[in-house]
DNA sequence: AATAAATTTAAACAGATGTTTAAAACATTT
DNA sequence: AAATGTTTTAAACATCTGTTTAAATTTATT
């Protein structure tokens, strides 16, 4: 009995999760060391296993949250039957870039780890029902009946997310600063919907 | 003296490189074990170090080749001053998708490892001179003077490459087969230039 | 054929790394 | 205050993993 979720244990668990999230994102699962997580969280090494059983289990918890952050959070927007396609494109651009801008390595992290372990994480994306049968997809199909709407969905995701994949390249080549990247993403946030509307031929 | 590059050592080295390439692409650098490479190449463990000095050195060789495969191979196309922007967009779509279709995990692999080790690999992309001063970029600027041409470059790369990033997600969700993916990429190969031309407002 | 060089092998090394153990410290309940 | 449960710690364990060594084998040179 005794404690359910007291102050101390919560902050310990949260510190571990925070540091784990940061380390996993920076180095990927395999290159992240439990000792680094413990050290940077300022807790004893064995505490990680006490609270999370194993590195793998901790990782799975983190992954679940990040997959949600990358895919599931847009479900309300794309499922809304009361907004037009044009409005959805505006909203998606705004929401996606605003969400990812502060965690720019999230997309590449999630997609990399899904690729390294497809059987484990692939099915966590509620792709079939919620996305495939969304109003968004139907509206894409209506706007361009000749093209598989999934292709347009991928294209728009690419327009919104691909710059985050290229960020390390741009940064390392000394071509773009942190400031400059954020500015260019703010600009893209405004232009992306218009670009997609031109592709779809809607105005 | 003696041997320079005889039959046997070449095939051993090539087998090691082939397997290393495949293993690094599947699991990433950190999760790839030297023992796996040796075993799958059918050579003794120590031979890898004899021929390549270290796992890291072998990886760097592989990476150099893959960065070229992802970025440098388009330099002739984008530098050509005798082709129009429209022609370049056609060529890029054709070349990029044809090159990557047989190695679909190449883009995510390269960009992930650049992110994990930006100082080492980031500067290997000849971004400044060859790309920034290319005819392609000038023509993008001319077509849309109000937008940073680098942004259009990134957008088009996203349209062409992002589906490869999504492939594990689509596959794992059981929504798309290997066959289906290739077919959709063939379709995209045809449509992508038209989409980009609509974004740029050229016809 | 004899010698030298290059390649391959089996075995071991050294350090890293995820995890466990057993005890201590701390908090809660009775 | 004693007893019970929870959290934290230091240390050790067991395995994995990149690399090296020294000898054997194969290939090339003279």
Whether residues B49 and B71 share a domain: the answer is no
Residues contacting B48, CB < 8 A, separation 6+: B16, B34, B37, B38, B55, B58
The DSSP symbol for A131 reads: I
Whether residues B34 and B126 share a domain: the answer is no
Contact by Cβ (8 Å): B121, B67: yes
Choose the final residue of a domain: A53, A70, A87.
A53
Whether residues B79 and B130 share a domain: the answer is yes
Whether residues B182 and B149 share a domain: the answer is yes
pLDDT for the residue A200:
98
Question: B86-95, B138-147, B166-175: which range is least confident on average?
Answer: B166-175
pLDDT tens readout for residues A130-161? 899 999 999 999 999 999 999 999 999 999 99
Contact by Cβ (8 Å): B189, B94: yes
**pTM score, whole prediction:** 0.93
- Find the mean pLDDT for residues B72-93: 96
d(C-alpha B109, C-alpha B100), whole Å: 12
Choose the final residue of a domain: A14, A29, A53.
A53
The full length of chain B comes to: 203
Whether residues B77 and B177 share a domain: the answer is yes
Q: Is the pLDDT of residue B3 over 70?
A: no
Q: Is the pLDDT of residue B7 over 70?
A: no
pLDDT for the residue A5:
41
* Residues of chain B neighbouring A68 (CB-CB closer than 8 A): none
Residue B51 CA and nucleotide D13 C1' are separated, in Å, by 35
pLDDT for the residue A6:
44
pLDDT for the residue B10:
63
Residue A38 CA and nucleotide C11 C1' are separated, in Å, by 36
Task: Kindly report the CATH number assigned to the domain that includes residue A168.
Answer: 1.10.357
What is the H or E stretch that residue A57 is in? helix A55-70
CA quadruple B66, B67, B68, B73: dihedral, nearest 10? 110
Whether residues B41 and B125 share a domain: the answer is no
Short-list A144, A107, A188, A134, CA closest to B194? A144
Quick one: pLDDT band at residue B92, thresholds 50, 70, 90?
very high
Task: Kindly report the CATH number assigned to the domain that includes residue A32.
Answer: 1.10.10.60
3-state secondary structure B138-153: HHHHHHCCCCCHHHHH
pLDDT for the residue B121:
81
- Find the mean pLDDT for residues B104-113: 97
Secondary structure (DSSP) of A69-121 = HHTGGGHHHHH-TTS-HHHHHHHHHHHHHHHHTTSTTHHHHHHHHHHHSHHHH
**B165 inside 8 A of chain A by CB:** yes
Quick one: pLDDT band at residue B203, thresholds 50, 70, 90?
confident
Whether residues B160 and B75 share a domain: the answer is yes
- Find the mean pLDDT for residues B57-77: 94
pLDDT for the residue B164:
98
- Where b means 16+ CB within 10 Å and e means fewer, B77-94 reads bbbeeebebbebbbbbbe
The DSSP symbol for A24 reads: H
Whether residues A27 and A74 share a domain: the answer is no
Top-confidence residue, B127 or A137: A137
Backbone region of residue B201 per phi and psi (left: phi > 0; alpha: psi in -120 to 50; beta: other values): left
Q: For chain B, give the percent of residues with pLDDT over 90.
A: 81
What is the average pLDDT value for chain B, to the nearest integer?
92
Whether residues B2 and B96 share a domain: the answer is no
Residue B15 CA and nucleotide D24 C1' are separated, in Å, by 23
Pick A30's closest partner by Cβ from B30, B114, B198.
Answer: B30
Contact by Cβ (8 Å): B6, B19: no
* Residues of chain A neighbouring B170 (CB-CB closer than 8 A): 127
Quick one: pLDDT band at residue B8, thresholds 50, 70, 90?
very low
d(C-alpha A175, C-alpha B127), whole Å: 8
Closest residue in chain A to residue B167, using alpha carbons only: A115
Q: Do B166 and A157 touch (CB under 8 A)?
A: yes
Whether residues B88 and B145 share a domain: the answer is yes
**Roughly what angle, to the nearest 10 degrees, separates helices A135-143 and A149-172?**
100
Whether residues A71 and A144 share a domain: the answer is yes
Whether residues B19 and B117 share a domain: the answer is no
Strand C: which of residues 2-31 in chain A lie with Cβ below 7 A? 2-3, 6, 8
Q: Mark which residues 101-120 of B lie under 8 Å from A by CB.
A: 105, 108, 111-112, 114-116, 118-119
d(C-alpha A53, C-alpha A156), whole Å: 39
Query: Structural domain tally of chain A?
Result: 2
pLDDT for the residue A7:
43
Place of tokens 């490869």: B164
Place of tokens 């980031």: B122
| Domain extent at residue B168 | 61-200
Segment-wise mean pLDDT, segments of 10 residues, chain A, 203 residues? 43 95 98 98 96 97 94 93 98 97 96 93 74 96 97 98 95 85 98 98 90
A39 touches strand C (CB under 7 A): no
* Residues of chain B neighbouring A184 (CB-CB closer than 8 A): 148, 150-151
Residues contacting B82, CB < 8 A, separation 6+: none
């Amino acid at each position: 009995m005794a404690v359910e979720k007291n102050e101390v244990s919560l902050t310990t668990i949260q510190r571990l999760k925070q540091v784990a999230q940061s380390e996993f994102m920076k180095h990927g699962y395999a290159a992240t060391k439990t000792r680094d997580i413990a050290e940077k969280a300022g807790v004893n090494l064995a505490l990680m296993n006490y609270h999370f059983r194993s590195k793998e289990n901790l990782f799975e918890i983190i992954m679940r949250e990040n997959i949600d952050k990358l895919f599931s959070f847009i479900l309300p927007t794309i499922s809304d039957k009361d907004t037009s396609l044009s409005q959805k494109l505006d909203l998606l651009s705004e929401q996606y870039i605003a969400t990812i801008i502060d965690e720019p390595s999230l997309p590449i992290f999630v997609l990399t780890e899904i690729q390294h372990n497809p059987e484990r994480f692939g099915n966590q994306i509620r792709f079939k029902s919620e996305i495939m049968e969304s109003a968004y997809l139907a509206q894409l199909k209506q706007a361009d009946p000749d093209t598989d709407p999934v292709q347009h969905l991928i294209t728009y995701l690419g327009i919104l997310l691909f710059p985050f994949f290229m960020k390390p390249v741009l940064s390392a080549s000394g071509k773009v600063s942190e400031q400059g990247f954020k500015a260019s993403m703010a600009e893209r946030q405004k232009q992306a919907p218009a670009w997609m509307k031109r592709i779809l031929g809607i105005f």
